[in-house]
Structure 1
Amino acid sequence: MEKEKMTRFGHSKFYELLDQMAEIHSAKNHDYAGTKDPLANLKCAERIDIEPWIGCWIRIQDKVSRVETFIRQGEYKVKDESVKDTLLDLAIYALLDYILYEERTQNED
């Protein structure tokens, strides 16, 4: 049975960004976590008794702080990451945090 294609509503750029986020996640995951556990780099927070989803939330706050600084100062001095890059990273971290939190709470249901 052929899967029916879903009609997508909303902004077309939204779906382009989802694809771009998937590519960024895959590339960075290769470099940070390898192939065994795709969240290994985030789960390392457990080594110092911090739950991974909380450790990921701290990374999110770092990105938020970066954007807030840009808002106040109007520029980044370090040019290797643009505001757009930071916003995409925020979205990716939010999804990863969702996964980590879901893994943590899956046995609580």
Structure 2
Amino acid sequence: MVKIPDLTNEFAKLSALKRLSNFKLTGVRGHIPKASHESICKELNNIYKAKNADYGNSFAESYKEWGITSAVVRMDDKMRRLKQLVKYDAKVKSESIEDTLLDLANYSIMALMELRREGNNND
């Protein structure tokens, strides 16, 4: 008897890759943002300022209370969201792969800021 391999997982991976290959960056208000490192860093900074204005300095506050673990948990949540967006179509249309990557990048930068502040305080 010939054993037929289970390809369910492989089909899921191919489907995710197909979705990524069709993925288009739309940015704010539907325009396609520039793809340069400098322009993305400026965009990250604008998002950082806007979200800090909305949420306050909650990242730094939770970092002071919980340390690097608080940053890791937030980044893990974003990575899990990214995996879901790659595997399945988003039900919440305001949460795109691009938005998730930008948030993940900002969390990484904020964690680095806090690590450096800790280093400066220990001198």
Tell me the TM-score normalised to structure 1 length. 0.70
Instruction: Give the equivalent residue in structure 2 for 1:3.
Output: none
Aligned residue pairs total 90
Alpha-carbon displacement from aligned partner over 1:10-42 (angstroms, at most 9, x marks no partner): x96211111111111111111111xxxxxx312
Instruction: Give the equivalent residue in structure 1 for 2:108.
Output: 94
Q: How many angstroms does 1:45 deviate by?
A: 2.6
CA–CA separation in structure 2 for the residues paired with 1:42 and 1:12: 27
CA–CA separation in structure 1 for the residues paired with 2:63 and 2:80: 24
CA–CA separation in structure 2 for the residues paired with 1:86 and 1:72: 14
Greater relative contact order: 1 or 2 (C-alpha under 8 angstroms, separation 6 or more)?
A: 2
Do 2:78 and 2:100's aligned partners in 1 also have CA atoms closer than 8 Å?
yes
Larger Rg: 2
Q: How many angstroms does 1:93 deviate by?
A: 0.6
Alpha-carbon displacement from aligned partner over 1:49-103 (angstroms, at most 9, x marks no partner): 521x321221111100001112222x21111221101101111110000011122
Tell me the TM-score normalised to structure 2 length. 0.63
Are residues 57 and 46 of structure 1, via their aligned partners in 2, closer, same or farther at CA, if it must alter by over 3 Å?
closer
For residue 57 of structure 1, the aligned residue among 68, 72, 78 is 72
Gaps of at least 5 residues in structure 2 are: 1-33
CA–CA separation in structure 1 for the residues paired with 2:81 and 2:90: 9
Gaps of at least 5 residues in structure 1 are: 1-10, 34-39
Identity score, percent: 28
Instruction: Give the equivalent residue in structure 1 for 2:99.
Output: 85
RMSD over aligned Cα atoms: 2.2
Do 2:85 and 2:96's aligned partners in 1 also have CA atoms closer than 8 Å?
no
